[in-house]
């Protein structure tokens, strides 16, 4: 995700069975150039592990230099080769890299050779080609360079809401020996199970599904009230800006509130107003064993 997976949200999903968290995509060149960019784009703490820092990069040495900066505070770096947004692709980042397999191979190798920690991971996140042979070639080149795992979003660069190509993910999984992670339309634990059955992947990555329900990996169909209040506590404790605090709650409440309720909630303009609304509308969790959604 470009922005939502900052420290506060990572802290929340870790409470609900998320095994590994990724930072937002960070532009490696800006990260190296600017102290301000480093301070604003990369925040973490001791409990924020395992942590993968995802970079957008277009040349091997820049990626390796950025990896060396974050290596003491993280468990690996991930090269974003999947972002389909026009600004990213026009700048040489994101999904345009799937058409540059030799460059991706070189970037993976640079990180592998220059980070002085054999346990530090370097992974890539990709989309698929219309001609799947190109995707297999890309993945095999990355594997030969020492990639730790490959996350595959099962759509082409042009596709947005079309069905995920699970057969393509399976083909990639069968073509490499490193772990493969499936991404795309993971909205509940049933999706996790069916994706594994269809593809044989080693794990799944979720983005929008977790925005709507941060407790998804713990087995909840909708966001439980406990999770809502956990987010309030974490966001207030970490000083999360109101726009981010409010925006996450808009996602969480979308499936469990009525349209009139959403209209009122979306118009709120302060943290205190949000907390008052939640308290008055849904109440609070006093029993720590309460794990049901009362909406």
Query: Catalytic site residues?
Result: 83
Backbone φ and ψ of 78, nearest 5°: -125, 130
**Reduced DSSP (H G I as helix, E B as strand, rest coil) percent helix, strand, coil of the chain, to 5:** 50, 10, 40
Task: Give Cα 53 distance to the centre of its chain.
Answer: 10
Angstrom distance (rounded) from CA 8 to CA 48 = 10
CB 80 within 8 A of CB 25: yes
Angle at 10 between CA 9 and CA 15, to 5 degrees: 100
Burial group, residue 223, by CB count within 10 angstroms (0-12, 13-18, 19+) = buried
Q: Which residues pair with 191 in a beta bridge?
A: none
Q: Mention every residue, 6+ apart, whose C-beta is less than 8 A from residue 147.
A: 108, 122, 123, 124, 178
Q: How far is CA 186 from CA 70, 183, 211, 277, in A?
A: 29, 7, 11, 30
Q: Which residues are annotated as a binding site?
A: 54, 153, 207-208
Interatomic CA distance for residues 79 and 106, integer angstroms: 12
Residue recorded with tokens 């302060």: 270
């Amino acid at each position: 995700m470009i922005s939502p997976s900052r420290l506060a949200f990572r802290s929340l999903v870790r409470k609900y069975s998320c095994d590994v968290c990724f930072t937002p995509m960070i532009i490696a060149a800006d990260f190296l150039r600017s102290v301000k960019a480093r301070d604003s784009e990369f925040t973490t703490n001791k409990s924020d592990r395992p942590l993968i820092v995802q970079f957008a990069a277009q040349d091997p040495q820049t990626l390796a230099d950025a990896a060396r900066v974050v290596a003491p505070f993280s468990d690996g770096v991930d090269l974003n080769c999947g972002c389909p947004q026009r600004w990213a692709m026009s700048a040489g980042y994101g999904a345009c890299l799937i058409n540059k397999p030799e460059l991706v191979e070189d970037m993976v190798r640079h990180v592998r050779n220059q980070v002085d920690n054999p346990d530090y991971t370097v992974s890539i996140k990709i989309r698929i080609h219309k001609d799947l042979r190109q995707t297999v070639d890309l993945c095999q080149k990355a594997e030969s360079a020492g990639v730790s795992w490959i996350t595959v979003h099962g759509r082409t660069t042009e596709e947005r809401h079309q069905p995920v190509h699970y057969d393509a993910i399976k083909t990639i999984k069968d073509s490499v020996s490193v772990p493969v992670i499936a991404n795309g339309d993971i909205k509940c634990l049933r999706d996790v199970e069916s994706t594994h059955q269809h593809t044989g992947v080693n794990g799944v990555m979720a983005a929008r599904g977790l925005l709507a329900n941060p407790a998804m990996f713990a087995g909840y169909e909708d966001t439980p009230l406990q999770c809502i209040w956990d987010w309030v506590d974490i966001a207030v404790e970490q000083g999360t800006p109101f726009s981010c605090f409010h925006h996450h709650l808009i996602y969480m409440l979308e499936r469990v509130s009525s349209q009139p309720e959403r209209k009122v909630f979306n118009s709120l303009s302060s943290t205190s107003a949000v907390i008052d609304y939640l308290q008055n509308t849904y109440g609070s969790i006093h029993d720590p064993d309460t794990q049901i959604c009362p909406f």
